[in-house]
């Protein structure tokens, strides 16, 4: 998909012409910046990682502090000096149990946000998804400490389902980010993807000093199709392509950082901007190529994810009901 730039204009944009070529023409306005190429995306990723780490830090710190209690056999725990604090119905265990229950129930609001349009005022789907993922990864650790790291009977079945849901959520998130989306989390149309890619190509050319055709050549991804691959092989190919894309970007960064004949060296800010745009262009190119395969695997993932999520929900609700009735304390805890 070569691109040519009109020499009469310093800031071109491109439009599709008959045939496989894209030709730049004088713009009436500068193309919209690539929404997902914003540095905010990187900051959000770092923020999500920090939120996950912070959510897991408290229960892990409690585990380290009370390890002598958690490592003791059940009979030994009853005589342990920390038993009154760390048992599931103790102050620490109870607090973590209530926190885990609140996060678990909050996670179930995400499906409602996706399907009920009038809830749009609560925030974009992308933000809801990030909170959903953070809670889903933190809950197993929080609940494990609440249960005293013991999983028998109904609690064990519920925790296993919750753990499987958490692990499958990682796969779901991986698939989710491989579908082209705008800032609000909605899936982009092919027309929107094409427009953003054309804007990216011209922006990268302007930032790097390369002609657009050379930009496209250097950022070309593996052209092999995904058609005919089963879900497991599709995921494996996606992972390999992601790793290959990272290597290509590293090579491009090293090459652009070197002085080239007939071209001024690229400064650090300009190099960072070029690589940010290149990263987004390669991601979009790969996502378009694998889009149908990603949707297919995502459908299989939903079929597998929901039964475990529902099983975990039922087990949690039964556990809460039994704890309230048998425990007689009016709070969702177990003994």
Tell me the C-alpha distance between 54 and 142, whole Å.
12
Predicted local distance difference test score (pLDDT) of residue 254? 82
Pairing assessment for the beta strands 3-4 and 22-25 based on DSSP bridges: parallel
Q: Is the pLDDT of residue 259 over 80?
A: no
Taking only the tens place, the pLDDT of each residue in 66-121 is 999 999 998 889 899 999 899 888 899 889 999 999 999 888 888 888 888 787 88
Higher pLDDT, 152 or 35: 152
Residues 6+ apart with CB under 8 A from 307: none
Q: Is 291 strand, coil or helix? A: helix
Residue 308 in this model has a pLDDT that exceeds 60: yes
Q: What local confidence, expressed as pLDDT, does residue 29 receive?
A: 36
Tens digits of residue pLDDT in 36-71? 444 555 566 667 778 888 888 989 999 999 999 999
Comparing 18-32, 117-131, 250-264, which segment has the lowest mean pLDDT?
Answer: 18-32
Find the Cα–Cα–Cα–Cα dihedral 317, 320, 321, 324, rounded to 10°. -170
Question: pLDDT tens digits for 293-302?
Answer: 888 888 888 8
* Sheet architecture: strand order including 13-16: 3-4, 22-25, 13-16
Q: What is the 3-state secondary structure (H, E, C) of 167-221?
A: HHHHHHHHHHCCCCECCCCCECCHHHHHHHHHHHHHHHHHHHCCCHHHHHHHCCC
Distance CA 40, CA 333 (A): 40
DSSP 88: T
Residue of 224 and 98 predicted with greater confidence: 98
pLDDT of residue 5: 35
pLDDT digits (tens, 9 = 90+) for 134-189: 888 899 999 999 989 988 877 787 888 888 888 888 888 888 888 887 766 677 88
pLDDT over 60 at 34, yes or no? no
What's the distance, Cα to Cα, between the start and end of the chain in Å? Answer: 65
Residue 331 pLDDT > 50: no
Domain ranges of the chain: 42-178+297-327, 193-259+266-289
């Amino acid at each position: 998909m070569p691109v040519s730039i009109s020499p009469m204009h310093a800031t071109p944009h491109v439009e599709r012409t008959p045939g496989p070529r894209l030709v730049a023409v004088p713009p009436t306005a500068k193309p919209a910046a690539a929404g997902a190429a914003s540095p905010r995306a990187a900051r959000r990723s770092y923020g999500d990682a920090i939120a996950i780490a912070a959510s897991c830090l408290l229960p892990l710190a409690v585990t380290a502090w009370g390890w002598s209690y958690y490592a003791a056999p059940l009979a030994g725990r009853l005589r342990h000096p920390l038993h009154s604090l760390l048992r599931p119905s103790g102050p620490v265990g109870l607090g973590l149990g209530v926190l885990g229950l609140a996060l678990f129930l909050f996670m179930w609001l995400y499906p409602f946000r996706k399907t009920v349009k009038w809830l749009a005022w609560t925030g974009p789907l992308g933000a809801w998804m990030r909170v959903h993922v953070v809670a889903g990864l933190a809950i197993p650790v929080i609940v494990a400490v609440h249960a005293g790291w013991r999983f028998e009977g109904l609690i064990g079945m519920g925790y296993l389902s919750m753990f499987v849901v958490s692990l499958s959520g990682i796969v779901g998130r991986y698939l989710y980010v491989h579908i082209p989306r705008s800032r609000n989390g909605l899936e982009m149309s092919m027309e929107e993807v094409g427009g953003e890619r054309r804007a990216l190509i011209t922006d990268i050319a302007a930032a790097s000093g390369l002609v657009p055709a050379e930009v496209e050549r250097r950022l070309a991804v593996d052209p092999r199709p995904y058609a005919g691959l089963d879900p497991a092989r599709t995921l494996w190919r996606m992972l390999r392509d992601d790793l290959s894309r990272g290597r290509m970007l590293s090579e491009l960064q090293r090459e652009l950082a070197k002085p080239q004949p007939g071209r001024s060296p690229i400064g650090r800010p300009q190099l960072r901007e070029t690589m940010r745009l290149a990263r987004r262009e390669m991601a979009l190119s790969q996502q378009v190529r694998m889009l149908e395969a990603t949707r297919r695997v995502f459908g299989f993932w939903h079929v597998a994810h929901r039964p475990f999520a529902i099983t975990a929900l039922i087990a949690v609700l039964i556990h809460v009901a039994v704890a309230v009735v048998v425990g007689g304390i009016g709070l969702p805890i177990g003994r």
